[in-house]
Structure 1
């Protein structure tokens, strides 16, 4: 069964926001990766290199609050209204494909499902109602 987590976009303030959330919820970050530490680091504007590519904070059993800094140099300008996604964590590639294909029907695919440098099968789309979704199957968690 897939898990559902909120995924937030920030205009360069993800780290500040997540330090605040951690002060409220407690716990430790499950992941914190900066743009400069990715294979795409050479395409990032220097002033955006230290921004957050991905951060995750478990806040309760099965729920993880996740985010990124929306960066212009990566073609992701922050626009109020595009600052959240619903992120589905699939248990297999087949489930990821079923969820992606079903929910994206009649909508607009932003990033087709594909294997990524961070060890996942991942894709993004806007459904026919305008809701932004991410579907992720993490190969590393299945080993």
Structure 2
């Protein structure tokens, strides 16, 4: 099972942000222009938006796109979970980078079950949980 995240016209910006924050990269990207979705109804300013992409980071991946015009993604009832193998400092760096411009909902620190854990909503409205085993 893999996660698919929708953005309201900011997918490419979000992918660049995640590449900086997590050290990953976009390994596939297709635009609306030239696709079967490139119809006369597609606004000209939407042709270069992301129709589909795949982002990878340290063996994990998710897919993402911009929703078609007129549709608005709503994020509720889920969080992207980022497990950072290794030490707590590496997890802290990922947490802090994702939190830049967003909102921390549970500060990163040692929870009662061990390791380190924190929750945030990033600047694009995506909820995240970041955890490590140490």
Larger Rg: 2
| TM-score, normalised with respect to structure 1 | 0.47
| TM-score, normalised with respect to structure 2 | 0.50
